A = this chain, B = another copy of it.
Amino acid sequence: MLAKKADVVLVLLIQIILIVLFFIFTTYDDKYESNAYPMFQDIHVMIFIGFGFLMTFLRRYGYSAVGFNFLLGALIIQWALLCQGFYQLNENNKMKLGIGSLYKADIAAATVLISMGAVLGRTSYMQLLIMGIVEIAVFSANSFLGSNIFQVADAGGSMFVHAFGAYFGLAVSYVIELKKAKTITDNGLEESRYTSDLFAMIGTIFLWLYWPSFNAVELTGDGQQRAVMNTYLSLASCCVTTFAVSLIFSKNHKFDMVHVQNSTLAGGVAVGTTANLMLQPFGAVLIGAVAGVVSVAGYAKLTPWLSSNFGIRDTCGVHNLHGIPGVLAGLIGAFMAGIASEATYCKTLYEIYPARASPNMTATAEYTFLKPGLGRDEAQQAGYQTLALVVTVTLAVASGLLTGMLVMWENFLPLKEECFDDRHAWHLPRKKAEIGSMVTFKPMIKNNYYSVFERVL
């Protein structure tokens, strides 16, 4: 028991280190973009209600799903504030925190929670915390590399958040399975039950509803309105094709809750990188429709194939919701960059792709956002978009594999057989038979055994 209590010390130590880092490095930002507050709150709901409840679908893992999501999210947003701020230290080595820092921290947390989805039910909470801490460091570096060095556009983070989180999580999952070899047997718990599926729908629908905020929060003006419109439209058509294609892939021509809970969201990912671009409404609807089809096909065919042939298990199927649609988004991003011109976007082209501005461009009274760029043409920009996608996936897999090895260290309490089961980490409610003095129940039990359950459920 002594060794076991060590995990508490470690968690408290991490929190103390965070307090010290906040003390050394942070101060308040005095600029206040109050307009961003409602969108920040929408994203906040996505992270803790959306992801948290989406993962409650397992029949006996609801406490862990929503609870570990809560703990992991709360730790990671603190750490992400710091990691992202390290790239923006001012002359006094201080980072200034404001509303913008908060929604960026929440978005960073999404990356980790996506990875959590890949390994859901097959790790201890300590493994999740360690995974998240490492992942945010790499995520922040990759985002900085993509946005500031490669200067690519990824409005909704489909590459840097969704693809990164999915492939990182799959790599961790791969190592976890590899290390435990044959110890995990099917205990019948990697399934849903009626009520857990309904809880999961709370998560799904809040994610679906607030996704326009996720894709639009970092934008302003016209670009923000387009991001909202495109995301709304893409998610709407994605929902429709998901339902239709779910029937096709099912044995008895019935809908499958796994598809409804997940694939309906693929449209938000697939349109993310280009959400602010001139896709036109029909383009957004088209992207969403395709994403739904691809995602359901992934659930029906790809996930079982990867699992049985390569041992890459994926509890929530994040590959189909975040991985493939994220890569798709990156490719659409490269395509749209390749056809973007001043004729279509006017001067805002150089706000969207700052590297395309000529090196001697300067702000004007009308276009205050203009500044010297790298003079890239559309083909070069498309090339960099593709490069960022490749680097993101590569870095995610590489760092995920290493993180997988790290978290299998015995001190991080890797699970043995007890997968997908709350009772190993949580006090569960007493069973009714254990409650001695349940006076009010006794008469009912005599009549028939249904009444007992009816009363209590």
Residues in A lying within 8 Å of B, measured CB to CB: 1, 4-5, 7-8, 11-12, 14-16, 18-20, 22-23, 26-30, 32, 34-35, 37-39, 41-42, 44-45, 48-49, 52-53, 56, 59-60, 62-63, 66-67, 70-71, 74-75, 77-78, 97-99, 102, 125, 185-189, 191-195, 197-199, 201-202, 205-206, 208-210, 212-213, 221-222, 224-226, 228-229, 232-233, 235-237, 239-241, 243-245, 247-248, 250, 252-257, 260, 264, 278, 280-282, 285-286, 289, 418, 421, 423-433, 435-441, 447-457
Given A5-B253, A26-B282, A48-B208: 10 more A-B contacts, CB < 8 Å: A11-B240, A19-B285, A32-B221, A34-B225, A62-B198, A63-B198, A71-B239, A188-B441, A202-B202, A252-B427
Output the residue of A38, A70, A252, A424 with the most chain B CB within 10 A: A70
* A-B complex: 3 closest residue pairs judged by Cβ atoms: A74-B239, A188-B435, A23-B282
Q: Report the nearest B residue to A451, measured CB to CB.
A: B431
- A192 contact set on B, CB distance < 8 A: 429
- A4 contact set on B, CB distance < 8 A: 253
Report yes or no: A199 in contact with B198, Cβ–Cβ below 8 A. yes
Q: Report the nearest B residue to A228, measured CB to CB.
A: B99
Tell me how far the C-beta of A442 lies from the nearest C-beta in chain B, rounded to whole angstroms.
11
- A425 contact set on B, CB distance < 8 A: 254-255
Output the residue of A26, A77, A437, A457 with the most chain B CB within 10 A: A457
- CA distance in complex: A448, B30 (Å): 63
Report yes or no: B428 in contact with A455, Cβ–Cβ below 8 A. yes
- CA distance in complex: A312, B27 (Å): 43
Q: Report the nearest B residue to A292, measured CB to CB.
A: B15
State which of B7, B15, B186, B426 has its C-beta within 8 Å of the C-beta of A237: B15
- A27 contact set on B, CB distance < 8 A: 280-281
Q: A457 with B457: in contact, given A12-B244, A70-B239 (CB under 8 Å)?
A: yes
- A448 contact set on B, CB distance < 8 A: 433
Residues of A contacting B: mostly = helix
Report yes or no: B454 in contact with A432, Cβ–Cβ below 8 A. yes
Q: Report the nearest B residue to A452, measured CB to CB.
A: B450
Report yes or no: B222 in contact with A66, Cβ–Cβ below 8 A. no
Report yes or no: A421 in contact with B450, Cβ–Cβ below 8 A. no
Report yes or no: B195 in contact with A48, Cβ–Cβ below 8 A. no
- CA distance in complex: A19, B98 (Å): 41
Tell me how far the C-beta of A239 lies from the nearest C-beta in chain B, rounded to whole angstroms.
4
State which of B22, B78, B235, B237 has its C-beta within 8 Å of the C-beta of A19: B237
Q: A1 with B253: in contact, given A194-B62, A431-B451 (CB under 8 Å)?
A: yes
- A241 contact set on B, CB distance < 8 A: 12, 15
- A60 contact set on B, CB distance < 8 A: 455-456
Report yes or no: A454 in contact with B194, Cβ–Cβ below 8 A. yes
Report yes or no: A454 in contact with B193, Cβ–Cβ below 8 A. yes
- A436 contact set on B, CB distance < 8 A: 188
Q: Report the nearest B residue to A236, measured CB to CB.
A: B74
- A187 contact set on B, CB distance < 8 A: 437-440
- A212 contact set on B, CB distance < 8 A: 41
Q: A228 with B430: in contact, given A26-B282, A70-B264, A222-B30 (CB under 8 Å)?
A: no
Q: A209 with B239: in contact, given A34-B224, A97-B281, A436-B188 (CB under 8 Å)?
A: no
- A430 contact set on B, CB distance < 8 A: 191
Tell me how far the C-beta of A285 lies from the nearest C-beta in chain B, rounded to whole angstroms.
5
Q: A437 with B185: in contact, given A42-B41, A70-B239, A221-B32 (CB under 8 Å)?
A: yes
Report yes or no: A248 in contact with B454, Cβ–Cβ below 8 A. no
Q: Report the nearest B residue to A424, measured CB to CB.
A: B254
Report yes or no: A457 in contact with B38, Cβ–Cβ below 8 A. no
- CA distance in complex: A425, B252 (Å): 9
Q: Report the nearest B residue to A44, measured CB to CB.
A: B209
Report yes or no: A431 in contact with B457, Cβ–Cβ below 8 A. no
- A22 contact set on B, CB distance < 8 A: 233, 280-282, 285
Q: Report the nearest B residue to A221, measured CB to CB.
A: B32
Report yes or no: B439 in contact with A185, Cβ–Cβ below 8 A. yes
